[in-house]
Amino acid sequence: MLEIKNLHVRAEGKEILKGIDLKVAPGEVHSIMGPNGSGKSTLANVLAGREDFEVTQGEIIYRDQDLLDMDPEERAREGVFLAFQYPVEIPGVSNTYFLRAALNAVRKHRGEKEVDAMEFLKLVREKAKLLKMDQSLLSRPVNEGFSGGEKKRNEIFHMAVLEPALGILDETDSGLDIDALKIVADGVNALRNKDRSFVVVTHYQRLLDYIVPDFVHVLYEGKIVKSGDKDLARELEKTGYSWLQNGKPEIQPVGQ
Amino acid sequence: MTRAVMEKKDDLFEAMVEFGRSAELSGPTWLKERRAAALKRFEDLGLPTKRDESWRFTDTKVLKRTPFVPAVADASPGVDLSDLSFSTFGEDRLVFLNGHFAEELSSKNLPKGIRVRSLATALQQDADGLEPILGRYATSEHEAFNSLNLALFQDGAVIEVDPGCVVESPIHLLFVNRAADGPLLINTRVLAVCGDNSQVSLVESHLGLPGHPYLSNGVTEVLAGDNAVVDHYKVQQENSDAFHIATFQSHQGRNANVRTMTVTLSGAVVRNETNAVLGGEGGWAELNGLFLVGEDHHVDNFTRIEHAKPHCDSREVYRGILSEQGSGVFRGRIVVAKDAQKTDSKQTNNNLLLSDEALINTKPQLEIYADDVKCTHGATIGQLEKEAIFYLRSRGISESAARSMLIYAFATDVVGRIKVESLREELDRYLFSWLPKGEVVREAF
Ligand SMILES: Nc1ncnc2c1ncn2[C@@H]1O[C@H](COP(=O)(O)OP(=O)(O)OP(=O)(O)O)[C@@H](O)[C@H]1O
Ligand SMILES: [Mg+2]
């Protein structure tokens, strides 16, 4: 599905990612944890194609294609989806109608028939129900005036409608109360299957109780310094990240 | 040295003065007198320059060098009008070719209580009735072009709505301009007299056909009686070499509601002066505008709302979308008279710059002589938000469609204020064809 090799990324002259290696197979869920500022969102955004970042070394292969050579919209149409840490508000653009344009762009790319207004409404209702989204959030402009939690839920709603092959979730759990967290996690789990993969960025074990990862990686100062299974997350919950500062962390390459 | 002497080199000015002096000024005696006075005022004022405060941001040099001659009646537009955008709204339509009424292209299916005539006809049939009104409201003493119109106009539209008459479908005035053989001066004139408790919607569209440059010089006067509701729209899509200079003037009575919207889609130099007078207590005045400026075109919106009486509200929303080397101006004057207490006025002007070379000058100007008033104003100048474009692209929408969506969303704030549905739909169609990837945008709204 995804293979990141020796990825180095700079922004405004500062090196942020310093050699990331990560391999995600179809159907796997990888969680990325790590202290503030370690580069988690940078990695997520580079995968989605944000242009503020400069890739100085390395490559990313996504389904046998050179991901870095693709525009953000091409990536989306090929099945890459980013649930943003900070979703933007877009006044005047309807949350539902824009999503129809997006879905049809994706479908057209895949050589599928575009959905008409009726089919789309049916789909939207179904997915909104899955995520217990308030009807009013659908007709309002994208994220405008949404609460923090509503914005996060809306990201997963978009993902549920677009049904990507690779879902990248950047701190989707932050700002969610416990009920909302469960709904969002259920939404993600409903999408899990043997072909679809997820990269889940989070600070909290809590989310991983619901979305159980196959692998957990610790990102620190632009590098993956430790990888393990779901127990690593539990361990981190206890120890925090202070051990990272005490001398050299033990580096374990990812393998599968 | 007087201004007239200083500006003597202007071809346009000289030609117009010459023309005015030699032509027999037509109409009843009172109008002849008014025309002579207007011509005199035009001579005294001279054409505006950047030294005139109200014309500071608008260059008239090219205009002044163009040898316009006044347009005579044109027999045919040379095209099928229904092929033009903004040419057809419902059943009642008056067509003017180069400012002259074209009866054979017009259709009227009017309810009782409203009369719509050409100005030339009205002056023949009912000169006395027009005497106290025509040219009495759009006075703008400082406005040379307005004076020129009064001195030289030959035709136009007169709309009279009886008290209490509610007109359901909009009255459409279609001005088609074409300078086939050489540069033309085209004077257009609209007078709407709406009685107490009446309701009516008026749509003016000014469409330019390819040809030589022309100067479309318009004046619209709207009188709204007590409790009247008048909804006025002007859409202009002049040709790329054309000049469009116009004055809108409304005067409204007690509890009357007057809305006007100016939509500018093209024209080399466009200037719309929009003036509203709240002349009775409890009135509501709304001035809205949308202007799209591209190429090296220039659009100047000069607005003035006068709160003459207490307890009136005014709202003003203008949005500009400027691309390439387009430049624009928004000036919003709000004048609150000494006894216009409890005035509530709100003005906003938002501008979207789509290129580094596009330019906007925006300037509110409040003159408040009363002490118990609420007046707010705000202006913004911005670009498309990069974050929003990336967000839309990350969902699979192409970059050009994402940009177009944001531009369209910006425009909808004004478009959504159009109450004449057929006009709103027509403007949407126009925007979807004007915007790159408009078909995707259409799907998203
Ligand atoms: N566009 C940018 N220009 C300059 N520096 C940037 C830019 N984006 C991120 N950075 C810096 O890169 C580092 C990593 O940021 P990033 O947002 O990836 O961290 P993070 O791991 O997601 O943190 P958090 O847990 O707080 O979300 C930070 O020091 C940040 O300030
Ligand atoms: Mg982050």
pLDDT, tens digit (0-9, with 9 covering 90-100), for B145-202 = 999 999 999 999 999 999 999 999 999 999 999 999 999 999 999 999 999 999 999 9
Ligand 1 neighbours by CB, cut-off 6 Å: A 11-12, 14, 16, 34, 36-42, 52, 85
What is the domain extent for residue B389? 385-445
Scanning A170-199 for CB atoms below 8 A from B yields: none
Are B261 and B404 found together in one domain? no
* Cβ contact A106–B387 (<8 Å): no
Contacts of B392 in chain A (CB under 8 A): 90, 93, 98, 102
Ligand with the closest atom to the CA of A45: 1
On whether the CB atoms of residues B249 and B134 are closer than 8 A, the answer is: no
Atom of ligand 1 nearest to the CA of A219: 21
Q: How many Å lie between the alpha carbon of A109 and the closest alpha carbon of chain B? A: 9
Are B53 and B172 found together in one domain? yes
Are B211 and B94 found together in one domain? yes
Residue range B240-246: mean pLDDT, rounded? 96
Task: Give the model confidence (pLDDT) of A145-168 as tens digits.
Answer: 999 999 999 999 999 999 999 999
Query: What per-residue confidence (pLDDT) applies to A235?
Result: 86
* Cβ contact A76–B398 (<8 Å): no
Task: Give the model confidence (pLDDT) of B31-87 as tens digits.
Answer: 999 999 999 999 888 888 888 888 999 988 888 888 888 898 877 888 899 889 999
- Report the C-alpha gap between B35 and B21 in whole angstroms: 11
Q: How many Å lie between the alpha carbon of B393 and the closest alpha carbon of chain A? A: 5
Quote the longest CA-to-CA distance of chain B: 70
Listed residues B257, B280, B303: the one ending a domain = B280
Listed residues B280, B306, B322: the one ending a domain = B280
Cα torsion for B375, B376, B377, B378, to the nearest 10°?
180
Q: How many Å lie between the alpha carbon of A234 and the closest alpha carbon of chain B? A: 32
Q: In what order do the strands lie in the sheet with B171-177?
A: B100-101, B93-97, B171-177, B199-208, B229-237, B257-266, B284-293, B313-322, B344-353, B374-382
Are B40 and B186 found together in one domain? yes
Ligand with the closest atom to the CA of A85: 2
Extended beta strands in B49-198, E state: 69-70, 93-97, 100-101, 114-118, 157-161, 171-177, 184-194
Residue B361 in domain? no
Candidates B137, B125, B108, B128; CA nearest to B29 is: B128
Ligand 1 centre to CA of B14 (Å) is 67
On whether the CB atoms of residues B376 and B412 are closer than 8 A, the answer is: no
DSSP track, A86-139: SPPP-TTSBHHHHHHHHHHHHHHHTTPPPP-HHHHHHHHHHHHHHTT--HHHHH
Residue B38 in domain? yes
On whether the CB atoms of residues B207 and B175 are closer than 8 A, the answer is: yes
Residue B370 in domain? no
* Cβ contact B391–A81 (<8 Å): no
Are B25 and B145 found together in one domain? yes
Query: What per-residue confidence (pLDDT) applies to B91?
Result: 77
Number of structural domains in chain B = 2
Task: Give the model confidence (pLDDT) of A10-30 as tens digits.
Answer: 999 999 999 999 999 999 999
Residue B405, burial from CB neighbour count under 10 angstroms (0-12, 13-18, 19+)? buried
* Cβ contact A88–B388 (<8 Å): yes
Q: Which amino acid is at A207?
A: L
Are B147 and B264 found together in one domain? yes
Among partner residues B395, B408, B443, which is closest to A162 by beta-carbon distance? B395
Nearest CA in chain B to A73: B396
Residue B300 in domain? no
- Report the C-alpha gap between A36 and A14 in whole angstroms: 16
Which band of pLDDT confidence, cut at 50, 70 and 90, is reported for residue A252? Answer: low
Nearest CA in chain A to B391: A88
* Cβ contact A73–B396 (<8 Å): yes
- Report the C-alpha gap between B275 and B294 in whole angstroms: 26
* Cβ contact A101–B393 (<8 Å): no
Contacts of A162 in chain B (CB under 8 A): 395-396
Contacts of B402 in chain A (CB under 8 A): 73
Are B175 and B55 found together in one domain? yes
Which band of pLDDT confidence, cut at 50, 70 and 90, is reported for residue B2? Answer: very low
Which band of pLDDT confidence, cut at 50, 70 and 90, is reported for residue A248? Answer: low
Residue B358 in domain? no
Terminal Cα-to-Cα distance of chain B (whole angstroms): 59
Are B413 and B264 found together in one domain? no
Residue A140 — left, alpha, or beta (φ > 0 → left; ψ -120 to 50 → alpha)?
A: beta
Q: How far does CA B85 lie from the centroid of its chain?
A: 17
Residue B203 in domain? yes
What are the percentages of helix, strand and coil residues in chain A, rounded to 5? 40, 25, 35
Among partner residues A87, A97, A106, which is closest to B445 by beta-carbon distance? A97
On whether the CB atoms of residues B206 and B235 are closer than 8 A, the answer is: yes
Helix (H) or strand (E) holding B129, with range, is helix B127-130
Residue B89: both structure tokens together: 């709204």
Which band of pLDDT confidence, cut at 50, 70 and 90, is reported for residue B5? Answer: very low
Residue B75 in domain? yes
In this predicted complex, what is the ipTM? 0.94
Average pLDDT, chain B: 92
pLDDT at B4 over 80: no
Extended beta strands in A1-102, E state: 2-11, 14-24, 29-33, 54-62, 65-66, 80-83
Ligand 2 centre to CA of A26 (Å) is 24
Ligand 1 centre to CA of A170 (Å) is 12
DSSP track, B382-442: E---HHHHHHHHTTT--HHHHHHHHHHHHHHHHHTT---HHHHHHHHHHHHHHSTTHHHHH
Task: Give the model confidence (pLDDT) of B313-362 as tens digits.
Answer: 999 999 999 999 999 999 999 999 999 999 999 999 999 999 999 999 99
Question: Is A48 in the B-facing interface, judged by CB distances under 8 Å?
Answer: yes
Task: Give the model confidence (pLDDT) of A220-236 as tens digits.
Answer: 999 999 999 988 888 88
CA distances in angstroms from B208 to A157, B86, B312, listed in the order given: 48, 11, 37
Q: What are phi and psi of A208, to 5 degrees?
A: -75, -10
Residue B438 in domain? yes
**What's the half-sphere exposure (Cβ side, CA atoms, 13 Å) at B27?**
25
* Cβ contact B405–A97 (<8 Å): no
